[in-house]
C-alpha cells in the first residue's frame, strides 16, 4: 500500500465493484470526468480487474485511515522515457467532498510518482468550470500551463479545459516546506 497521512492508496479489488459501479454512473460525480455513457457492471468489472496492474495505467483505491473506500485515483499514459504521466481522480462518496481527502490522496500519489517511479512531470486536464478541483490541484502544487479552448462538450455547450502540471523538483521544494 501507499501510505499517506490521512489516506492509503491500495490496489483495486473485485470486491470494490458495487462502489465503483455506483460512482461511475452518478452524474454528479462524473460531471467533470471523461466518462459520459452509462457503464455496465460487466464493463466496470473488466476495468477493475486490470486497473491496478497495467504498465501504462495504474489506478488505486483511496481509503481513509478508518478503512473506508471513498474514491479512486490513477496515473495514466505513463511514459517511461519522457518520465511523465496524467493524473486522474474521483472522490465518489459525495459527503466526503471538501474534507481534504482529494488533496491528501494526490499528495500521496505524487510522492510515490516522484520518489518511487522516478517520474519528472505529472499533468492533468481539468474543466475550467470545476473550481473545487482546480483549487485542490493548486494546493498540491500544480500550475496552469494553458487553456484548451472549447475542449469538451457537456450539457449542450462547449467548455474550456486547463492543462496543469507539477514537476518533481517543484514538488520536492514544496514538500520541504509542508
Ligand X SMILES: CC(C)(COP(=O)(O)OP(=O)(O)OC[C@H]1O[C@@H](n2cnc3c(N)ncnc32)[C@H](O)[C@@H]1OP(=O)(O)O)[C@@H](O)C(=O)NCCC(=O)NCCS
Chain residues in the site for ligand X (CB under 6 A) = 29, 32-33, 71, 89-91, 97-103, 126, 130-133, 135-136
The alpha-carbon radius of gyration of the chain (Å, integer) is 16
Q: Toward ligand X, which CB reaches closer, 109 or 119?
A: 109
Q: Which residue is nearest to ligand X (CB)?
A: 102
Mark residue 141 as left, alpha or beta (left: phi above 0; alpha: psi -120 to 50; beta: remaining).
Answer: left
How do beta strands 121-127 and 84-91 pair?
A: parallel
Supply the minimum distance, in Å, between the C-beta of residue 19 and ligand X: 13
Question: What is the full DSSP assignment across 75-124?
Answer: EEEEETTTTEEEEEEEE--GGGTTSSHHHHHHHHHHHHHHHTS--SEEEE
Q: Toward ligand X, which CB reaches closer, 56 or 100?
A: 100
Supply the minimum distance, in Å, between the C-beta of residue 31 and ligand X: 7
Supply the minimum distance, in Å, between the C-beta of residue 81 and ligand X: 26
Q: Toward ligand X, which CB reaches closer, 10 or 123?
A: 123
Q: Toward ligand X, which CB reaches closer, 60 or 101?
A: 101
Non-local CB neighbours of 37 within 8 Å, separated by 6+ positions: none
Supply the minimum distance, in Å, between the C-beta of residue 106 and ligand X: 8
Q: Toward ligand X, which CB reaches closer, 85 or 136?
A: 136
Give the position of cell 499533468.
Answer: 123
Positive or negative: CA dihedral 3, 144, 166, 49: positive
Supply the minimum distance, in Å, between the C-beta of residue 5 and ligand X: 13
The grid coordinates of residue 161 equal: 479545459
Amino acid at each position: 500500500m501507499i501510505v499517506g497521512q490521512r489516506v492509503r492508496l491500495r490496489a483495486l479489488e473485485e470486491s470494490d465493484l458495487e462502489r465503483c459501479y455506483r460512482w461511475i454512473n452518478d452524474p454528479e460525480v462524473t460531471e467533470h470526468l471523461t466518462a459520459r455513457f452509462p457503464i455496465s457492471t460487466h464493463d466496470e468489472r473488466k476495468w477493475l480487474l486490470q486497473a491496478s496492474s497495467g504498465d501504462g495505467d495504474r489506478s488505486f483505491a483511496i481509503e481513509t485511515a478508518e478503512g473506508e473506500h471513498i474514491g479512486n485515483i490513477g496515473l495514466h499514459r505513463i511514459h517511461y522515457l519522457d518520465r511523465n504521466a496524467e493524473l486522474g481522480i474521483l472522490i465518489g462518496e459525495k459527503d466526503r467532498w471538501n474534507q481534504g481527502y482529494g488533496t491528501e490522496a494526490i499528495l500521496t500519489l505524487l510522492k510515490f510518482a516522484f520518489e518511487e517511479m522516478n517520474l519528472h512531470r505529472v499533468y492533468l486536464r481539468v474543466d475550467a468550470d470545476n473550481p473545487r478541483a482546480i483549487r485542490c490541484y493548486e494546493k498540491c502544487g500544480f500550475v496552469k500551463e494553458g487553456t484548451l479552448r472549447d475542449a469538451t462538450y457537456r450539457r449542450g455547450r462547449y467548455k474550456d479545459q486547463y492543462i496543469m502540471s507539477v514537476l518533481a523538483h517543484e514538488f520536492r521544494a514544496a514538500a520541504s516546506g509542508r
